Structure 1
Amino acid sequence: MLDHSLVTPQGKPFDQPMAEEFAADPRRLLILCGRYEGVDERVVEHCIDEEVSVGDYVLTGGELPALVIIDASVRLLPGVLGDEDSLKDESFSWGILDYPQYTRPPVWEGHKVPEVLLSGNHAGIVRYRRKEALRRTLARRPDLLEKAGLDSNDKILVEEIKEEEGWTL
């Protein structure tokens, strides 16, 4: 039996756990895309298992939201990404936003890569990345922290960040 999902602004918000759910058995998923005024309500009531939204806005059709859902789900399948470990260290795999990314050269237009990232101190790098991911989440998406299930170390880092930034969240 197929799971029938309709992309619509009225649907349940699409998120990483939903992508993981769809990726668990992608052969069972059928995504129905509405156009203009949408899909006949009788079809929705009798043939659709779940309505899914990719955001609080309206597009001309459901094709682009369907592509978003497909891309977010398919990339979780074994063999799709070149490096399977990359899934473990990206935004939302921890329930928070990703840490800032830096590449070469170590200085670009006078802006330096943080010293700890060049130090070779792996424990320091892990701590820095986690702290910066928490900082970014606090600044941009504090709502995610409520659901993230922070451990005691994360809570200490959050307090450090608030003190450093002068935030009273």
Structure 2
Amino acid sequence: MTWRATVLTIFPEMFPGPLGASLAGKALSENKWALDVLDIRDFAKDKHRSVDDTPAGGGAGMVMRADIAASAIDTAREGAAPETPTLYLSPRGKPLTQDRVRELARGPGAILLCGRFEGIDERVIEARNIEEVSIGDYVLSGGELAALVLIDACVRLLPGVAGNEGSLAEESFAEGLLEYPHYTRPRDFEGLSIPEVLLSGDHKAIAKWRREQVETLTKSRRADLWEKFKRR
């Protein structure tokens, strides 16, 4: 079964965007994954194709209507495998982790609901059992960029997409830690040299140095990851 991303958005022209280039774009053209984009405005009920309304209780901005979002979600689910999760890209969602990305990549794909305005009516999130996902502690203009990030993270893990699949095992977060530094030619650059151990040909020493770097970087930059790793 081909891994399939179905995106629900009011800006369908944003897709495939960067997903049409590099590894993801090549894999898309080779049918190693599939992309469907549904325009939420197609499910509007008026001639102006309105999808939002004023927030109950007052306040700034507008809120995407539950009935319109639900119609788009239901249509997307009709063409998806039954076990396909529906994800709402939201700053209040659970943080997207590499573990969750791996889970999604192993499945049939994902339906991605891109929010806009002040958000989406809470009732559709509850009624359609939607999982909220965040790509970081900041706010974007909408969920489209977050959807692009999530899809790219999943697609690169699909079989046959990465040029060197063995390198995936050594990346940051592969085991919950940050990746070691990389170097290449020239040997000297503006007074900085490649660490001698990497030029030694001693593979055991190189592996030891890289492991030390992984642990040092994680401890200094992401103490939260280091503490989590130690508790395993």
- Fold shared by both chains (TM-score > 0.5): yes
Match of 1:11 in 2: 93
TM-score norm. by structure 1 comes to 0.85
Distance 1:35 1:18 in 2: 24
Name the SS of the counterpart of 1:6 in structure 2: strand
Aligned length: 150
Name the SS of the counterpart of 1:69 in structure 2: helix
* Structure 2 letter corresponding to 1:16: Q
Match of 2:123 in 1: 42
Distance 1:129 1:148 in 2: 17
Match of 1:158 in 2: none
Cα RMSD, aligned residues only: 1.4
Question: In the alignment, is residue 64 of structure 1 matched against residue 64 of structure 2?
Answer: no
Larger radius of gyration: 2
Distance 1:148 1:78 in 2: 27
* Structure 1 letter corresponding to 2:120: V
Name the SS of the counterpart of 1:148 in structure 2: helix
Distance 2:150 2:178 in 1: 19
Name the SS of the counterpart of 2:94 in structure 1: strand
* Structure 1 letter corresponding to 2:178: L
Q: CA deviation at 1:26?
A: 3.5
Q: CA deviation at 1:150?
A: 7.7
Q: CA deviation at 1:148?
A: 1.7
Q: CA deviation at 1:4?
A: 0.6
Q: CA deviation at 1:49?
A: 2.9
Partner residue of 1:20 out of 73, 77, 102? 102
Distance 1:35 1:5 in 2: 14
8 Å CA contact 1:35, 1:62 repeated in 2: yes
Output one character per residue of 1:121-155: Cα deviation in whole Å (capped at 9) or x when no partner. 0000000001011111111111101222489xxxx
TM-score norm. by structure 2 comes to 0.62
Percent same amino acid among aligned pairs? Answer: 53
Name the SS of the counterpart of 2:175 in structure 1: coil
Give 1 or 2: higher helix fraction.
1
* Structure 2 letter corresponding to 1:105: P
> CA 1:44 to 1:57, structure 2 compared with 1: closer, same or farther past 3 Å?
same
Output one character per residue of 1:39-83: Cα deviation in whole Å (capped at 9) or x when no partner. 121211111431000111111000011111111111111111011
Match of 1:32 in 2: 113
Question: In the alignment, is residue 120 of structure 1 matched against residue 192 of structure 2?
Answer: no
Runs (4 or more) in structure 1 with deviation over 4 Å come to none
> CA 1:87 to 1:150, structure 2 compared with 1: closer, same or farther past 3 Å?
farther
